[in-house]
């Protein structure tokens, strides 16, 4: 997961936001 953050921090942020949204929706 660290490699992903280093490759594209924006992507990691988006992924985290999506997970948070999913958890909130659940």
User: For residues 4 and 11, is the Cβ–Cβ distance under 8 A?
Assistant: yes
Q: Is the pLDDT of residue 19 over 70?
A: yes
16: its two tokens: 């985290």
User: Does the reported pTM lie above 0.85?
Assistant: no
Round to whole Å and give the CA distance between 21 and 4. Answer: 20
Q: Is the pLDDT of residue 4 over 70?
A: no
Rounded to a whole number of angstroms, the CA Rg of the chain reads 10
Round to whole Å and give the CA distance between 6 and 18. Answer: 19
Calculate mean pLDDT across residues 14-25: 80
């Amino acid at each position: 997961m660290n490699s992903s953050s280093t490759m594209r921090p924006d992507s990691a942020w988006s992924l985290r936001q999506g997970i948070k949204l999913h958890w909130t929706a659940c």
